[in-house]
């Protein structure tokens, strides 16, 4: 009994030892886990790539800004219209630079460089041409002011404008074309103001000569204020001076037209008075052609008045009044001659009758 138990115990121990041995052997066969991969050291090129890209973008942005500034300058000066083909070629390169930006920066940089060169060429070629063109424009405006007698009407202002006009001429001679262009444009504006002031002065004189201001004192007074303001502003602010001259012209025009409308009505009455006087002695019969001519002038005056052409209607009413007066005088002369002949005839008859008795 004890012997059997002992044998069973030994057998169990053997089985257990065998199981442990198999497990150990299996564990020895399993491969060791692979070590975590060590990151490869970054190459010097990879490490510096972001810095290079940043430097390239900065240079590209500077090139783009340069081309953009030259483009704006050429456009603002009006060279797009003066040299359209050259400007268009440079503008095309500029657009291509923008299209390639961020996609192919090398191509973008080449296009912006080409654009900058093209716009600079537009400026180099266009500025002398533009200066000459602006000088011609200023000279034409000066001639227009002279034709309005600006030197006689506004001698001090004209002297100032002429003096200022010499400055851009000196700049152009020194190849400072941008200063010349700016100066020529200022002179053009100054002579334009002088031209407007001369026109305002002419309307003002017309109103005064016919005493028309009394019919529209409000607009007349406003015009007078702006007329003076324009002259006062001329030396310091040509734009404001021009605005005041425009306002003066407008107000004088309204005052003139209002006054002429009343004046035309007054002249119509005068013509009608002469017409009635001519008709009272049958001028339409005695001097038909003259009367008909006067009546035609009167009809034309009415037509002009209806169309609000008061200056023409007033003149025509005055002419018709004069024509009716002439018709009256000639008709009266005929009537007096006829009356004289009748009186002579009556006297002769009376004498002959007395002799017969």
Read off the pLDDT of residues 10-50 as tens digits, 9 standing for 90 and up: 344 433 343 434 344 344 444 444 444 444 444 333 333 33
The distance of Cα 235 from the centroid of its chain, to the nearest Å, equals: 22
For residue 327, the model assigns a pLDDT of: 93
Rounded Cα distance, 4 and 228, in Å: 146
The closest alpha carbon to 262, from 325, 320, 314, 194, belongs to 314
Give the gyration radius of the chain's Cα atoms. Answer: 52
| Predicted local distance difference test score (pLDDT) of residue 286 | 86
Give the pLDDT of residue 355.
65
Task: Supply the DSSP symbol for 215.
Answer: G
Distances (CA, A) of 97 to 59, 68, 87, 271, 314: 13, 11, 15, 79, 69
In whole angstroms, how far apart are CA 325 and each of 272, 275, 285, 286, 311? 11, 8, 15, 14, 21
- For 71-109, the pLDDT digits (tens) are 999 999 999 999 999 999 999 999 999 999 999 999 999
d(CA 272, CA 115): 77
For residue 14, give both structure tokens.
């053997």
Residue whose pair of structure tokens reads 């017409």 in the numeric block: 275
Low-confidence ranges of the chain (pLDDT < 50): 1-55
Tokens of 205: 């004189």
């Amino acid at each position: 009994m004890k012997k059997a138990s002992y044998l069973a115990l030994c057998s169990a121990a053997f089985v257990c030892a065998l199981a442990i041995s198999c497990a150990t052997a299996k564990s020895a066969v399993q491969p060791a886990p692979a070590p975590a991969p060590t990151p490869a050291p970054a190459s010097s090129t990879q490490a510096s790539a972001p810095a290079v890209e940043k430097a390239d973008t900065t240079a590209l942005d500077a090139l783009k800004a340069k081309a953009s500034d030259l483009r704006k300058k050429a456009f603002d000066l009006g060279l797009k219209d003066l040299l359209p083909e050259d400007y268009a070629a440079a503008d095309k390169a500029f657009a291509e630079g923008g299209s390639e930006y961020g996609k192919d920066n090398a191509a973008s940089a080449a296009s912006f460089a080409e654009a900058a060169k093209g716009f600079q060429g537009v400026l180099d070629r266009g500025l002398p041409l533009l200066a000459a063109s602006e000088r011609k424009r200023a000279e034409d405006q000066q001639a227009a002011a002279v034709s309005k007698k600006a030197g006689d009407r506004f001698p001090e202002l004209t002297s100032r404008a002429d003096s200022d006009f010499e400055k851009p001429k000196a700049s152009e001679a020194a190849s400072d074309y941008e200063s010349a262009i700016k100066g020529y444009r200022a002179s053009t504006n100054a002579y334009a103001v002088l031209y407007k002031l001369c026109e305002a002065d002419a309307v003002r004189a017309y109103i005064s000569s016919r005493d028309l201001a009394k019919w529209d004192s409000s607009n007349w007074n406003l015009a007078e204020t702006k007329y003076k303001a324009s002259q006062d502003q001329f030396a310091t602010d040509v734009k404001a001076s021009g605005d005041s001259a425009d306002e003066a012209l407008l107000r004088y025009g309204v005052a003139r037209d209002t006054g002429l409308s009343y004046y035309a009505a007054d002249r119509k009455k005068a013509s009608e008075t002469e017409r009635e006087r001519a008709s009272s002695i049958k001028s339409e019969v005695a001097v038909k052609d003259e009367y008909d001519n006067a009546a035609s002038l009167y009809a034309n005056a009415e037509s002009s008045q209806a169309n609000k052409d008061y200056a023409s209607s007033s003149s025509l009413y005055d002419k018709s009044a004069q024509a009716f007066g002439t018709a009256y005088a000639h008709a009266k002369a005929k009537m007096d001659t006829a009356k004289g002949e009748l009186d002579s005839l009556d006297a002769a008859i009376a004498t002959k009758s007395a002799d017969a008795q």
